[in-house]
A and B are shown apart, each in its own frame.
Chain A
């Protein structure tokens, strides 16, 4: 019982409530949209969230430390453009190297953010709001209004979005979706088991305590930004492969989508709590709502965004209520158990006083 209790902490099963919300949303849309419960819907939603999920994982790393990275949209766009340009100039470049170019470039931009935030001690929202505009501005200048077109790209890249790693009937798991899942799982494991992961939580939940413990706060925050940039770079490569035609507007607005996914996914914006699976579920919630609303003929262009906002609010609010209920239930079961323990009443009181 104790073991179950330890694993079923409300913070850890709050993802369950998001899954419930996703199921409710799918059931609702199934009554509204013809042929909704089909493999095609799964394929559409899964491919549409692959990029945002990768960006959201990076964002989560930063948000866990009580910071934020608003420049990820520009990093995605710049990395997409830069890796596209590199591939156009070197069409024979090995695919792995092309991915590394995008990741490395993103990590470099992330490093700049990290240095300014961790070493320069400038508030993250100011730094990354600035670099959001600066990176995009440099991209506009760098690109000289030249578009990266599908024609310049090697065939393997253009065909990449069509590659399936798993096909079950009509349900397809595309390579981009698989890649996003791998990223989520790897970083979730890193959060759970690597010292770095634990440090992110420690710094976010109590920076003063973390400092007293002698944790390398600056270095950890710096690493979080570099990783966030690297993941945005990877997302940039995925963006290039998916859309093929890259202009200077690529990835614009992704930062808000990523922050939304992270927040909906239950990652605390004030740091210290949240998981990668939560961020992924947040991305799935938003992706499901967005893609489904697009397919409702009675929803016009003009009300769609408002409805999307409303649904996100409902999702977050009901999530909060469900989690609160779970937490109370957990606390109640805890009290019951402590009443059953063999501790003498006096000792229990002393413990309480302490």
Chain B
């Protein structure tokens, strides 16, 4: 009887704790003043602008009386420009938080460390600080390991059950996210069910249209047996698809990877790029804003196991980042895979969404 009582007591306690931890979800209190900077890899690219849209949406939703600046370098000055912007921000007293899509690898560490020491909340999104130094939290768009799996699955669905050979056309050799995705893809290819997918080469187009286009054609010339180019970059994937179209190669060499539906629709409909994937950059900017707002207002600490609510996107729990040696992350997800069946709807939907955000309050 006594044992039963103790058992019940323990059970009650566990239930109570469970209830308590459910209540422990950190929820943002609107109306606090936080001045923030959203820093993309560089300005003028659709995906980063979409992230800004999402952040602006959250900014309005949380009624933050502070400012949200969308600051970025130009493409040809990306690395030096990012370091400069973060260094300047770190010395500004009026800035409370910086949200960075890192394109400068660990070269950005001294600048972000200065910012954290100045009491600013430093959150990375899209691409983290590889060593994790100076950064409070990384908002991963998707699980980087999952990116590898999604790419492997797209490769298999395009090449068929018999498999075949393919090559990777990446952005720059020192983009942390791209390298992590390629590493994850290589790991997935080790698995027996993917053994008939052969990776021939990895080349870099440095997110330049012309370089990516030439690299794609060079791959075709070097590897006559190649049937697919996998480009995990929105610049590379369109350049490769156009190159195959111009040379009349779409029947023999397909293109896949990560791309924007609005930029890829023509190539998906004409069969040059039958399938590709991406996540929502609007949502990524939105979630990043929520997490940063909570950190900057002191409502939340960046610690493993902390759960918070990010408005319409729901709850996220901070965890150790398994893709880096140090650093914390949350994973947003999910992937959307686009093909001929859903791309027109996706492009139409995106247009409506843009119109909706263009008229706030509607």
Contacts and interface: CB of A to CB of B under 8 A. Distances in A.
A44 B208 CA distance: 18
Contacts of B239: 243, 245
A242 B45 CA distance: 19
A17 interface: no
A48 B214 contact: yes
A302 B172 CA distance: 11
B221 A249 contact: no
A21 interface: no
A86 to B, nearest CB: 19
Interface residues of A, number: 40
Interface in B199-255: 201, 203-204, 207-210, 213-215, 217-218, 221-222, 235, 238-239, 242, 245-248
Contact of B238 (A41, A245, A252): A245
Contacts of B266: 149-151, 158
Nearest to B204: A301
A294 B218 contact: yes
Contacts of A151: 262, 265-266
Given A249-B76, A301-B203, A243 B46 contact: no
Given A243-B210, A253-B208, A44 B45 contact: no
A2 interface: no
A244 B242 contact: yes
A44 B209 contact: no
A253 B218 contact: no
Nearest to B47: A145
A140 B74 contact: yes
Contacts of A143: 44
Given A44-B217, A243-B242, A248 B204 contact: no
Interface string A287-300: 00011001101000
A250 B209 contact: yes
Contact of B74 (A136, A150, A243): A136
A247 interface: yes
Nearest to A136: B74
Interface of B: 42-46, 48-49, 74-76, 173, 201, 203-204, 207-210, 213-215, 217-218, 221-222, 235, 238-239, 242, 245-248, 260, 262-263, 265-267
A82 to B, nearest CB: 14
A137 B74 contact: yes
A247 B46 contact: yes
A335 interface: no
Given A242-B213, A246-B209, 7 more contacts: A40-B221, A145-B43, A146-B46, A158-B245, A247-B209, A290-B214, A294-B214
Which among B45, B76, B246, B267 has the highest number of chain A CB atoms within 10 Å?
A: B246
Nearest to A243: B209
Contact of A44 (B42, B46, B74, B221): B221
A158 B208 CA distance: 19
A137 B213 CA distance: 25
Nearest to A152: B266
Interface in A154-210: 158, 161-162
Given A145-B43, A247-B46, A294-B214, A252 B75 contact: yes
